[in-house]
Amino acid sequence: MKYIDEYRDQRIARALAAEIASRTTRPWVLMEICGGQTHTIMRYGLDELLPPSLELVHGPGCPVCVTPLETIDKAITLASRSDVILVSYGDMLRVPGSHSDLFRVKAEGGDVRVAYSPTEAVKIARQHPQRKVVFLAIGFETTAPANAMAAWQAKKEGLQNFSMLVSHVLVPPAIRALMVSPENRVQGFIAPGHVCTVMGCEEYESLVRDFRVPIVVGGFEPVDLLESVLMLVRQLEAGAAKLENQYGRSVSYQGNRPAQQIMQEVFEVADQKWRGIGNIPRSGLRLRDEYAAYDANRVFALADVSVEEPAECISAQVLQGLKKPPECPMFGMRCTPENPMGAPMVSSEGACAAYYRYRRHTVAS
């Protein structure tokens, strides 16, 4: 199968791993940003193919994991109302809020529905004009165009019962925040291929220039990731820092211009809180004033609140690549996918869920 089997070829993967080992002469710490990439690494044991001096750490590229606790609490408040239909992606239902989650609200009678596209929420709003339909619009740049299109379509149709609870985050500002942190250990990044399919590579140039850090846009199959690691190692060993695109079969330098245009029409850049990390300037998207009628925060006059994460959960350190999931004393014990203490355990892209699913319950030496 074109673009699948060849990127899972064991012979190619082992050859890449051997070349990585031969070229690595000193310790390096690399971060893959996307949770999908983390799951591939864990599923295929790619980190175990690498030399001991080469460490892979996991970044804040799981959209469910970085959705603020306050947003979850707001969604729970809305879903508890008898006049509201709350529509969400399925993996948000088990994400813990302060005192509950959407799955429990649904079990208690709240009208919470799972959708695979924001346009399904628009359709539900058409079908139920007497109800208020709210779509929980989360994610990185990957899902932003579709969410923008939903708001655009609702406005075009004049739907008065549709709104979105928006929590969109942007990757480049998060990388910048990691690089300026005094705790940062990362020396090279594998940028998320899906995000770059939409946004292109252009906006990563300033990160390479400002921090002298190599960045490789990588795909999601085993060979993609091993080739991305090799490209980073080559740069680091040569003392170079540049932007490279390993995922050329899907990512162009400019990205998807029509998708970017609908995002820019509907959303504007804003400061954004990341769950477990805190506020990052200009790292999110919010609805423009022209779309205020579709902003659930304004429609329902939701108050801005600040909620503290559970003190025992180390998800913030996991999302910043400072610790691995098994270093958490609750991992696999009090915190499991069935009883998650933090979002990285419940999300299908979360690092904790990846370690748990693939039985990586011990700290890598």
The reported pLDDT for the residue numbered 6 is 86
Q: Which residues of 66-101 are buried (b: 16+ CB within 10 A; e: fewer)?
A: bbbbbbbbbbbbbbbeeebbbbbbebbbbbbbeeeb
Q: Is residue 193 pLDDT above 80, yes or no? A: yes
Q: Is residue 363 pLDDT above 50, yes or no? A: no
Q: Is residue 313 pLDDT above 90, yes or no? A: no
- The domain ranges of the chain are 5-64+171-245, 66-170+255-299
> pLDDT digit string (tens) for 104-117?
999 999 999 999 99
Which contiguous run of DSSP H or E holds residue 189? Answer: strand 188-192
Q: How far apart are CA 172 and CA 175, in angstroms?
A: 5
- Identical fold, 5-64+171-245 and 66-170+255-299: yes
> pLDDT digit string (tens) for 64-100?
999 999 999 999 999 999 999 999 999 899 998 988 9
The reported pLDDT for the residue numbered 362 is 56
Name the CATH architecture for the domain at 66-170+255-299: 3-Layer(aba) Sandwich (3.40)
The reported pLDDT for the residue numbered 365 is 39
The reported pLDDT for the residue numbered 311 is 78
Confidence class for position 168, pLDDT limits 50, 70, 90: very high
The reported pLDDT for the residue numbered 2 is 66
Confidence class for position 309, pLDDT limits 50, 70, 90: confident
Please give the share of the chain, as a percent, with pLDDT higher than 90. Answer: 85
Output 192 or 316, whichever has higher pLDDT: 192
CATH of 5-64+171-245, one of 3.10.350.10, 3.40.1790.10, 3.40.50.11750, 3.40.140.10: 3.40.50.11750
Sheet holding 28-34, edge to edge: 54-61, 28-34, 188-192, 215-218, 243-245
Confidence class for position 3, pLDDT limits 50, 70, 90: low
The reported pLDDT for the residue numbered 350 is 93
Give the length of the chain: 365
Q: Is residue 54 pLDDT above 60, yes or no? A: yes
**Mean pLDDT computed over every residue of the chain:** 94
**Residues 186, 174: contact at Cβ < 8 Å?**
no
Beta bridge mates, 85: 133
> pLDDT digit string (tens) for 211-270?
999 999 999 999 999 999 999 999 999 999 999 999 999 999 999 999 999 999 999 999
Please give the share of the chain, as a percent, with pLDDT higher than 70. Answer: 98
